[in-house]
Chain A
Amino acid sequence: MTQAVQTKLKYAIETSGLGKRYRSFWALKDCAVTVPQGSVTALVGPNGAGKTTLLKLLVGLNRPSAGAAVVLGQTPNQTTEYLSEIGYLAQEIPLYSQFSAADHFAMGAHLDPRWDNDLAVKRLNELKIPLDRPVGKLSGGQRAQVGLAMALAKKPRLLLLDEPVAALDPLARVDFLTSLAQAAADADGELTVVMSSHLLADLERVCDHVIILASGETQLCDDIEQVLKTHKLLVGPPGALPASNEYIVIKESRSSTAAHALVRLSSLRISVPGWHVRDVDIEEIVLAYMGQSRDAATSEGAAQ
Chain B
Amino acid sequence: MNWFTWEQYKKQFLMLGIALALYAALAIPLGLYFWHTYQQALITCKQTNTCGRLTQDLFQSGWSRVLNPNATAGGLTLFNVAILAMPFLLGMFVGAPLIAREYADGTNKLIWTRSVSRHKWLTIKLLWILVATAIFAGIFAALTTWWSRAGNVLFSDHFSATEFAMQGIVPVGYAVLAVSLGVMFGALFKRTLLALAVTLGVLLAVQIAIPNWVRPHLQVPHHTTLSLYQRNIGTSVGAKTFALTVPAIPSQPGAWVLSSHAVNASGQPVTAVPPACQGAFGISQGSGGASDNAQSQDPLACLAGQGLHIAATYQPAYRYWDFQRIEAGVYLALSLIPIGVTYWLVLKRDA
Q: Roughly how many angstroms separate A61 CA and B112 CA in the complex, as a whole number?
A: 7
Q: In the complex, which residue of chain B has the Cβ closest to the Cβ of A95?
A: B110
* Pair A61/B107 contact, Cβ less than 8 Å: no
Q: Do A83 and B4 contact each other (CB < 8 Å), given the known contacts A78-B112, A94-B109, A150-B110?
A: no
Interface stretch among A103-111, A117-125, A194-202, A287-295? A103-111
Which residues of B are found within 8 Å of A80, using beta-carbon distances?
115-117
Query: How far apart sit A58 and B129, CA to CA, in the bound complex (Å)?
Result: 31
Within 8 A of B (CB), among A70-112: 78-80, 83-84, 86-88, 90, 92, 94-97, 99, 103, 106-108, 110-112
The answer on a CB contact under 8 Å between A92 and B115 is: no
Which chain A positions have C-beta within 8 A of B105? 94, 96-97
Query: Is B113 in contact with A110, judged by CB distance below 8 angstroms?
Result: no
Partner pick for A113 among B112, B113, B115, CB 8 A cutoff: B115
Interface residues of B in 85-136 (CB under 8 A from A): 105-110, 112-119
Known A-B contacts A62-B350, A62-B351; A99 and B7 likewise in contact (beta carbons under 8 Å): yes
B110 touches A83 (CB 8 A): no
Of chain B, the residue at the smallest CB distance from A160 is: B113
DSSP class of B's interface residues: helix, strand, loop or mixed?
A: helix
Q: Looking at the complex, which one of B3, B7, B106, B114 makes contact with A83 (CB distance below 8 Å)?
A: B114
State whether the Cβ of B206 lies closer than 8 Å to any Cβ in chain A: no
**Contact yes or no, B113 A59, CB < 8 A:** yes
B1-34, CB < 8 A from A? 1, 3-4, 7-8
Q: How large is the interface on B (under 10, 10 to 19, 20 to 34, 35 or more residues)?
A: 20 to 34
Question: Complex: how many Å from CA A62 to CA B108?
Answer: 12
B115 touches A84 (CB 8 A): yes
Flag if B115 contacts A154 (CB, 8 Å): yes
Report A-chain residues with C-beta under 8 Å of the C-beta of B351.
56, 61-62
Q: List residues of chain A with CB within 8 A of the CB of B71.
A: none
Task: Give the chain A neighbours of B118 by CB distance below 8 A.
Answer: 78
Q: A-B pairs with the 5 shortest C-beta distances?
A: A94-B106, A61-B351, A84-B115, A62-B350, A111-B114
16 other A-B residue contacts (CB within 8 Å) besides A90-B113, A94-B106, A111-B116: A56-B351, A61-B113, A80-B117, A88-B109, A90-B109, A90-B110, A92-B106, A94-B105, A96-B8, A96-B110, A106-B7, A111-B1, A111-B115, A112-B114, A154-B114, A154-B115
What are 16 of the A-B contact pairs (CB < 8 Å)?
Answer: A56-B351, A78-B119, A80-B116, A80-B117, A84-B115, A88-B113, A90-B110, A94-B105, A95-B110, A96-B110, A107-B4, A108-B114, A110-B1, A111-B116, A113-B115, A150-B110
Measuring CB to CB, which residues of chain B are less than 8 angstroms from any residue of chain A?
Answer: 1, 3-4, 7-8, 105-110, 112-119, 347, 350-351
